């Protein structure tokens, strides 16, 4: 019993520390561990963009979409929007066409026009080889994609080189590629010496330098006919992120902060009422074991709140719903355990032995129930949209935590206080329902 009491005290201490962490970090407005609220709770704007993949090979579309997401995230972060969320999804239209979409959530920004202006038009940067083709008796010039585009761009800087007029300097835009882009750029320049490598921005030709030699190191210089302000603007836009594929605004919506606050209040009240009703039922029906279950349940809720803060998980209304549902799962596991324990007590087992056997007999049902729910949650997260994924993530984490709460915490707390012999005063305390045993 001493061993279980030590573990019980340890468990309570951890619970108090977690509760202190949750409370203090939420009370501190500058803490980085405050709950991160989704658009539906914090209010703000959601922009949905369609990514044009028509010119992107099928094998490269996943990478291009991931690169697009990264570029937009960097651009949104530069504007200082609190907790922006940028997600990608593949959706089927009513006509059966599959579209790649970019969803940008901007909490706190309720002016849609301002949100669109803040995101701006990010340029699409491409390097194309000039290629002559014969059409009848006429030779036309076309530009063939090299595969080198904005996804490989690390940064752009402003420089100045010799201009056409003596004594003057011309602004230049210096591009620096990442390691993969540097290899691709060196390969293109080494295999096409003497050819023109044109630079297109948003489909417009801005520079057409001739490749003089292989260029290692991943650095390219755009020497178009720029004025200094134009060059500075181009550097700024490229540093915001040159898109690997074009995007177009498909839809937008705004959630007012009042509606978001109402959703938070409703979710918190629903959770508190549900938790209170569960505690009343458990203590009223199962008495001391019910009180132990309520204590383990409180620790479970505190642990989940701490996990949501630390990971961190962006909390949405659907996520709150997932958390409330898993509380029911934790209670269900305790009910199974207590009913099995009660059966063992009726068969004449001493209290501690009954608890051990009760947990052992309930284990398979608890394991199978949690496993099936876990599989369902994983499938929802894998196949669901962003709204469903918010629910599924909290649901899966809650199932794992409730499993630990029911099997470990409740068992430790019970075995820390249950005596070896069933004395008169214990008949009522560990009984259930309207009877004493």
Quick one: angle between helices 317-346 and 257-286, nearest 10? 0
Out of 1.10.10.10, 1.10.1740.10, 3.40.190.10, 1.20.1640.10, which CATH number does the structure's domain 2-37+256-429 have? 1.20.1640.10
- Please give the pLDDT value at position 434: 55
Residue ranges of the chain assigned to CATH 3.30.70: 39-123+248-254
Express as a percent the part of the chain with pLDDT over 70.
88
Pairwise pLDDT comparison (21 vs 267), residue with the higher score? 21
Q: pLDDT tens-digit profile of 192-229? A: 999 998 888 767 787 788 888 898 988 888 776 778 88
Do the beta carbons of residue 45 and residue 257 sit within 8 Å?
no
Q: pLDDT tens-digit profile of 299-314? A: 988 999 999 999 888 8
Residue ranges of the chain assigned to CATH 1.20.1640.10: 2-37+256-429
- Please give the pLDDT value at position 183: 93
What architecture is the 39-123+248-254 domain classified under in CATH? 2-Layer Sandwich (3.30)
Pick the range with the lowest mean pLDDT from 233-247, 324-338, 423-437.
Answer: 423-437
What is the average per-residue pLDDT within 406-435?
Answer: 75
Residue ranges of the chain assigned to CATH 3.30.1360.200: 125-242
- Please give the pLDDT value at position 237: 66
What architecture is the 125-242 domain classified under in CATH? 2-Layer Sandwich (3.30)
Pairwise pLDDT comparison (372 vs 427), residue with the higher score? 372
- Please give the pLDDT value at position 122: 58
pTM: 0.64
Q: pLDDT tens-digit profile of 140-180? A: 888 998 988 887 888 888 888 765 444 457 888 888 998 99
Do the beta carbons of residue 405 and residue 300 sit within 8 Å?
yes
Say whether pLDDT at 414 is over 60.
Answer: yes
Pairwise pLDDT comparison (33 vs 112), residue with the higher score? 33
In whole angstroms, what is the distance from residue 274 CA to residue 293 CA? 15
Sign of CA dihedral 20, 26, 27, 31: positive
Three-state SS string over the chain comes to CHHHHHHHHHHHHHHHHHHHHHHHHHHCCCCCCCCEECHHHHCEEEEEEEECCCCCCHHHHHHHHHHHHHHHHHHHHHCCCCCCEEEEEEEECCCCCEEEEEEEEEECCCCHHHHHHHHCCCCEEEEEEEEEEEECCEEEEEEEEEEEEHHHEEEEEEEEEECCCCCCEEEEEEEEECHHHHHHHHHHHHHCCCCEEEEEECCEEEECCECCCCCCCCEEEECCCCCHHHHHHHHHHHHHHCECCCEEEEEEEEECHHHHHHHHHHHHHHHHHHHHHHHHHHHHHHCHHHHHHHHHHHHHHHHHHHHHHHCCCEECHHHHHHHHHHHHHHHHHHHHHHHHHHHHHHCCCCHHHHHHHHHHHHHHHHHHHHHHHHHHHHHHHHHCCHHHHHHHHHHHHHHHHHHHHHHHHHHHHHHHHCCCCCCHHHHHHCCCCCCCC
Per-residue pLDDT band for 24 (boundaries 50, 70, 90) equals very high
């Amino acid at each position: 019993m001493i061993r279980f009491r030590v573990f019980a005290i340890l468990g309570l201490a951890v619970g108090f520390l977690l509760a202190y962490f949750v409370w203090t970090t939420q009370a501190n407005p500058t803490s980085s561990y405050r709950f991160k609220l989704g658009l539906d709770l914090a209010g703000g704007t959601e922009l949905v963009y369609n990514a044009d993949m028509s010119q992107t090979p099928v094998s490269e579309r996943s990478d291009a979409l991931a690169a697009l997401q990264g570029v937009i995230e960097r651009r949104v972060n530069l504007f200082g929007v609190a907790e922006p969320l940028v997600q990608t999804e593949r959706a089927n239209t009513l006509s059966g066409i599959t579209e790649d979409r970019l969803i940008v959530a901007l909490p706190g920004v309720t002016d849609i026009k301002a949100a669109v202006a803040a995101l701006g038009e990010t340029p699409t940067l491409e390097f194309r080889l000039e290629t002559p083709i014969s059409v009848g008796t006429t030779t036309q010039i076309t530009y063939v994609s090299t595969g080198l585009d904005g996804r490989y761009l690390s940064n752009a800087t402003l420089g100045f080189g010799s201009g056409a007029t003596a004594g003057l300097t011309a602004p230049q835009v210096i591009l620096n590629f990442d390691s993969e882009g540097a290899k691709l750029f060196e390969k293109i320049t080494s295999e096409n010496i003497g050819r023109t490598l044109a630079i297109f921005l948003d489909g417009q030709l801005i520079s057409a330098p001739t490749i003089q030699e292989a260029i290692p190191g991943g650095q390219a210089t755009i020497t178009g006919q720029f004025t200094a302000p134009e060059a500075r603007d181009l550097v700024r836009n490229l540093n915001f992120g040159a898109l690997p594929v074009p995007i177009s605004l498909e839809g937008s919506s705004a959630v007012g902060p009042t509606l978001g606050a109402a959703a938070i209040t409703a979710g918190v009240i629903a959770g508190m009422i549900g938790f209170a009703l569960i505690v009343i039922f458990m203590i009223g029906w199962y008495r001391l074991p019910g009180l132990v279950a309520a204590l383990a349940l409180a620790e479970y809720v505190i642990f989940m709140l701490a996990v949501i803060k630390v990971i961190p998980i962006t909390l949405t209304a659907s996520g709150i719903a997932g958390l409330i549902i898993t509380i029911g799962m934790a209670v269900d596991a305790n009910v199974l355990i207590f009913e099995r324990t009660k059966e063992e007590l009726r068969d004449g087992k001493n209290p501690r032995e009954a608890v051990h056997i009760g947990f052992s007999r309930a284990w398979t049902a608890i394991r199978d129930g949690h496993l099936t729910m876990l599989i369902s949650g994983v499938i929802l997260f894998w196949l669901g949209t962003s709204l469903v994924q918010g629910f599924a993530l909290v649901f899966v984490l809650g199932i794992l935590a409730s499993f630990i709460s029911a099997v470990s915490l409740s068992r430790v707390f019970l075995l820390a206080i249950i005596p070896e012999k069933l004395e008169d005063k214990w008949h009522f305390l560990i009984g259930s329902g309207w009877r004493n045993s």
